[in-house]
Amino acid sequence: MKILLIEDSVDKRKNILASLKEFEDNFDVLTKESVRGALDALESESFDLILLDMSLPVFDVSDEIPDGGEAESFGGMEIIQQLSFLDINTPVVILTHYRTFHGGTTYEDLEQELIDEFPTIVKGMIYYDYPSNEWNIELNKYLRKLK
C-alpha cells in the first residue's frame, strides 16, 4: 500500500511512521511537511491512502523559509479541496492533536463537516494524543478497513 503522510511535526511523524511499520513492514510511505509539498506529490504520484495533519505550513522548510511559513489552521482542508477539485478520490484519514480549531470549530464538528462535504475522500479523523495509545488503535482500525 502506498501512503502519503503529510505531517510537519517531526515527533508526530516519527510516531506515525513507527505505527505504520508495526502494522505492516511493507508500506511504501512518502512524507511531506507542507501544503505545497503535498500538492506537488499528488500532481506526480498516486497513493492508496493519505494520512493528513489539519494544521500545516504552506511551504516546506528551506533556507529562504526556515519555518515553512506560519502554519495554517486549516492547511489540510486546502489539500482535501484540491483532491476534490482534481477528482482524486484517494481515501484521507486526518490525524490531529487539536480539539478546537480557528474560529471555535470543534473536532467533532469538523469531522462531520468534512465527511459530509467530501464523502468519497474523507474517511474520518483521529485525535492524536501522544503518549496515549488510542490514536494508534484508531489508525490500525482504518488501515484494516482500507487494506
Query: In angstroms, rounded to a whole number, what is the distance separating the alpha carbons of residues 95 and 30?
Result: 16
SS3 50: strand
Sorted by where each starts, the structural domains of the chain and their CATH numbers stand as 2-146 (3.40.50.2300)
Q: What pLDDT does residue 19 have?
A: 95
64-122 residue pLDDT tens: 655 545 665 578 999 999 999 999 999 999 999 988 887 888 999 999 999 999 999 99
Global model pTM greater than 0.85: yes
Answer whether 50's CB lies under 8 Å from 4's CB.
yes
Angle at 89 between CA 10 and CA 59, to 5 degrees: 35
